[in-house]
């Protein structure tokens, strides 16, 4: 890593001197990157240029995972570096999830475009809207009923384009407006429902990313709130409830952690991490036998799940004691 990247960053001497199984340069990279998590966008975090294609983002993620995946450091003494590595890896994974999904990547690229590129995109959009407005005005002057039908068709066409581009909230707005103008339009009704569902799922993904990012930069309250909302908005996706359960447990709320983990286990009966989260929540709630059953299920599904193995060992010692 080039030294000038760290030029304005002050490394805490005590943390650099911590006795862990990491080389000095990797210590510096972990400390620096962890401190930048709240500032870097997904492109910069993965080290790719703005609007890089999904294949490039995926390749960059795999390279970073070779360094920051917690499993790469199994068996090493990491001390205070372990939670930093875990947070960095979660942030990298969140970046990968956005940039490797064509629809989400397109919308994220628009939001994070450099000023000159954003201006070009907005100019093109506004010019298109101006031309459409002129056409509607001409039609309205000639025949209001024809104008309304044309407006519905325009909204449906625009909604379909937005769906194809992954702009689900915009698509939902256009298509719901179309159904308001013509409630019996079959295509508008079908597409509006699809757009509404996908907009909800997209918002849940955004909340999930926000929750992980907030947790990574030391804002656990904001992280829990975002993850809790993601799990409520898209209850059929286990990872949202799993992440929210872990955040609730870290916040000292075992009852909520248990409810969220149970939700994850219901919708993801083959998801080992759902049962790992449930075991942790039950253990915190003082129910060791139930916790052990959940952890046994987690290890049936994934025998290498380190968190479940560690907690199971702890439970065995408590039973022996």
Q: What secondary structure, in 3-state letters, does 227-293 show?
A: HHHHHHHCCCCHHHHHHHHHHHHHCCCHHHHHHHHHHHHHHCCCCHHHHHHHHHHHHHCCCHHHHHH
Q: Which residue reads 């599904």 in tokens? A: 301
Q: What's residue 22's pLDDT? A: 94
Q: Is the pTM of this model over 0.85?
A: no
Q: What's the CA dihedral at 23, 29, 35, 40 to 10 degrees?
A: -160
Domains of the chain, with CATH numbers?
A: 11-108 (1.10.287.110), 112-200 (1.25.40), 235-320 (1.25.40.10)
Concatenate the DSSP letters of all residues of 137-191 into one string: HHHHHH-HHHHHHHHHHHHHHHHHHHHHTT-HHHHHHHHHHHHHH-TT-HHHHHH
Rounded to whole angstroms, how far apart are CA atoms 36 and 189? 45
**What is the chain's length?**
321
- Calpha distance 21→23 (Å, rounded): 7
pLDDT at 286: 92
What would the two tokens of residue 149 be? 């039908």
pLDDT per residue, tens digit, the chain (321 aa), is: 445 677 788 898 999 999 999 999 999 999 999 999 888 999 999 999 999 999 999 999 999 999 999 888 888 899 999 999 999 999 999 999 999 987 788 888 888 888 777 667 666 666 776 677 676 666 566 666 656 777 788 888 888 888 888 788 888 888 889 888 888 888 888 888 888 888 888 889 889 988 888 887 788 889 999 999 999 989 999 999 999 999 999 999 999 999 999 999 999 999 999 999 999 999 999 999 999 999 999 999 999 888 899 999 888 766 544
Question: Reduced to 3 states, what is the DSSP secondary structure of residue 219?
Answer: coil
């Amino acid at each position: 890593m080039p030294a000038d990247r760290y030029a304005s960053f002050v490394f805490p001497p005590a943390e650099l001197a911590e006795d862990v199984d990491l080389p000095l340069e990797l210590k510096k990279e972990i400390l620096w990157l962890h401190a930048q998590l709240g500032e870097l966008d997904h492109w910069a975090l993965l080290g790719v240029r703005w609007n890089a294609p999904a294949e490039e983002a995926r390749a960059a993620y795999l390279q970073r995972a070779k360094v920051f995946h917690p499993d790469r450091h199994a068996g090493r003494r990491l001390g205070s570096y372990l939670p930093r590595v875990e947070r960095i890896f979660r942030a990298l994974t969140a970046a990968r999830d956005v940039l490797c999904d064509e629809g989400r990547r397109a919308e994220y690229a628009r939001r994070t475009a450099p000023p000159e590129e954003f201006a070009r995109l907005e100019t093109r959009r506004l010019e298109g809207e101006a031309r459409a407005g002129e056409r509607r005005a001409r039609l309205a002057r000639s025949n209001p009923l024809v104008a309304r039908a044309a407006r519905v068709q325009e909204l449906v066409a625009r909604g379909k384009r937005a769906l194809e581009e992954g702009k689900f909230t915009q698509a939902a707005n256009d298509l719901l407006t179309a159904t308001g103008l013509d409630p019996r339009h079959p295509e508008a009704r079908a597409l509006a429902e699809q757009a509404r569902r996908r907009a909800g799922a997209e918002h849940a993904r955004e909340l999930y990313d926000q929750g992980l990012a907030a947790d990574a930069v030391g804002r656990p309250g904001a992280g829990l709130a975002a993850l809790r909302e993601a799990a409520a908005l898209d209850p059929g996706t286990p990872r949202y409830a799993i992440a929210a359960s872990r955040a609730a447990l870290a916040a000292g709320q075992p009852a909520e952690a248990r409810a969220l983990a149970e939700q994850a286990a219901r919708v993801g009966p083959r998801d080992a991490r759902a049962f790992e989260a449930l075991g942790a929540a039950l253990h915190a709630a003082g129910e060791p036998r139930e916790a052990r059953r959940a952890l046994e299920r987690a290890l049936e599904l994934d025998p290498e799940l380190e968190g479940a193995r560690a907690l199971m060992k702890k439970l065995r010692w408590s039973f022996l004691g």
